[in-house]
Amino acid sequence: MTGTVTHHRPWPRRMADAPGWERAAARLAAGEGTLLALWGEPDCAHMAILDEGAASPGIEVLSLACPDGRFPSVGRVHAPAIRLERAMRDLFGLEPVGLPDARPWPDHGRWGVAAPLSASPRPAPDEAPAYPFLPVEGEDLHEVPVGPVHAGIIEPGHFRFTCDGETVVRLEERLGYVHKGIEGLMRGAELDRAARLAARTSGDSTVAYGIAFARAAEAALGIEPPPRAVWLRALMAELERLANHLGDVGAICNDASFALMHAHCGILRERVLRAAMTCFGHRLMMDRVVPGGVACNLDAAGIAALRALVAEIGARFPRLADLYDRTASLLDRTVATGIVRPDLARRFGAGGHVGRASGRAFDSRRALGGYPPYDALRFEVPVLEEGDVNARVWIRIREIGQSLALVAQILDRLPDGPVRVPVAPARGEVREGMALAEAFRGEVFAWLRLDAGGRVARCHLRDPSWFQWPLLEAAIEDNIIADFPLCNKSFNCSYSGHDL
């Protein structure tokens, strides 16, 4: 059974047979195309492949029916798929045949149910079997387990370090602690409830998730949000990027014991959040992006507040960047620390500052023609090659400059008009849509199917962290364990976005 599925927008979805699926996996393994997403349904597996180099660049979505609950593993030949397939097995009971890792991923044996999203979930005892970490052999090696509860105010996850003296010879991550079952809660949810769930997948990227979800729903239903709404979305997205990057630059320096940067960046971050509160009524701008447009507007006072914000950060931040660049004790910690090689970033399709600090220029605001209003805005996507903590700091510093310029452009050119159109479900028809939205840490991928009643039948949200967490394991190798917090913060992957 092959052929194109109707009502899947904006890129087509094709049914593949098993050989076609395996050919796609082999192409990924050969570096032709980038794995964008891989997700399950009770009797079906899907993958999205980004093909930027093709004659007609685009995204290809392939689906394989799995009536017997099995599909050929992509992870068998293409490592970036491994954790995604472990999650598909845990959640949907789909067996990736040939997957080299038999261990569970989000399922810690605590749910009281196995394969909760499959057609027939099975009761399972709550007994939390011991998780077998990969064996390590060698003289003089010792293990350091860290987490899930960490020393700082950060999300929970477990890190298992194997060290030779101070040097880390291997890090293995164990995640899934904050798995909330968001995709399960999405099933059968009305669109507005589903949008609120999407907005709480990773709170630091709530605007980006809002945009990804809304755009996927709008694509499915063939709805165009009004121009003013599209521009207000971008305005909020850039404010979110500014707030996060400012927070991160400060926090990275703080992890290198340079508290002054932390204090000053913290002030600028707080200014962004206060401006967001003034303009949009919520410091993180949660639930302001909705399918059909935005649930807020911007008045003259708001515009003035944002212009003042841009002026203040524009005046103060360059000096902080200069301070970073001239503080030898700080650079000593960040330069040549935690290197991600460009070939690894490319292979994993790492987005955001992790990818761009290692030579991968992908930015969904730009790629494949971009999405509105970015196709009408001027901005640069900074790219560096070094791949170290310093490069990840510099990508953020440069992106802060770009976001300030974007906010200014948007304020200058913000179109008038309505900010929301009614979202009429396509009653009686199943519809599917997908979208990318550029969060501060990379692209959020959203895919959904709306049932004939307009409710969400299935929604998959893939955080950029899925393809960044594995690179952190590689980046810390041969670094001293004391540099781990610094490396980790320079990535700033989302636990919640990944665990879902």
Partner 1 sequence: MPMRKTFLEGLLHRPVTDPPPALDDPELAELGRKLDAAARRRLGRGLAIREVDAGSCNGCELEIHALNNAFHDLERFGLRFVASPRHADVLLVTGPVTKNMREALERTWRATPDPKWVVAAGDCAINGGPFAGSYACVGGVAAVVPVDLHIRGCPPTPTQLLKGLLTLIEAP
Residues that bind partner 1 (CB under 8 A): 106, 108, 110-113, 116, 121, 126, 128, 148-149, 151-156, 176-182, 184-185, 196-197, 200-204, 206, 247, 260, 263-264, 266-267, 269-270, 273, 283-284, 286, 319-320, 322-323, 326-327, 494-496, 499
Tokens 């609120």 belong to which residue?
Answer: 196
Sign, CA dihedral 308-311-313-316, equals negative
Task: Tell me if the bond preceding 10 is cis, omega within 30° of 0.
Answer: yes
Which CB, 203 or 453, lies closer to ligand SF4?
203
Instruction: Confirm or reject binding of residue 100 to ligand SF4 (CB under 6 A).
Output: no
185 binds, among partner 1, ligand SF4, none (CB under 5 to 8 A by kind): partner 1
360 half-sphere exposure, CB direction, 13 A CA radius: 28
Q: How many CB atoms lie within 10 A of CB 342?
A: 17
Q: Which is closer to ligand SF4, CB of 203 or CB of 281? A: 203
Site for ligand SF4 in 188-227 (CB under 6 A): 200, 203
With respect to partner 1, which residue has the nearer C-beta, 150 or 341?
150
252 binds, options ligand SF4, partner 1, none, Cβ within 5 to 8 A by partner type: none
Buried-state track 361-371, b at ≥16 Cβ within 10 A, e below 16: ebbbbbbbebb
Minimum CB distance to partner 1 smaller for 22 or for 90: 90
Instruction: Work out whether strand 95-97 and strand 70-72 pair parallel, antiparallel, or are unpaired.
Output: parallel
Which does residue 156 touch among partner 1, ligand SF4, none (CB within 5 to 8 A, set by kind)?
Answer: partner 1
Question: 115 or 198, CB closer to ligand SF4?
Answer: 198
* DSSP secondary structure code for residue 28 in this structure: H
Q: What is the DSSP string of 133-194?
A: PPP---TTEEEEEE-SS-SSS----EEEEEEETTEEEEEEEE--TT---HHHHHTT--HHHH
Residue 284 CB, shortest distance to ligand SF4, in Å, is 8
Residue 230: partners with Cβ closer than 8 Å, 6 or more residues away: 372, 373
Residue ranges of the alpha helices (H) in 335-388? Answer: 342-348, 352-356
State in angstroms the smallest separation of the CB of 176 from partner 1.
6
Binding partner of residue 78 among ligand SF4, partner 1, none, CB cut-off 5 to 8 Å per kind: none
Minimum Å gap between C-beta 324 and partner 1 is 9
User: Smallest gap, in angstroms, from Cβ of residue 190 to partner 1?
Assistant: 13
Total residues interacting with ligand SF4, rule: CB under 6 A: 2
Quick one: 236 or 273, whose CB is closer to partner 1? 273
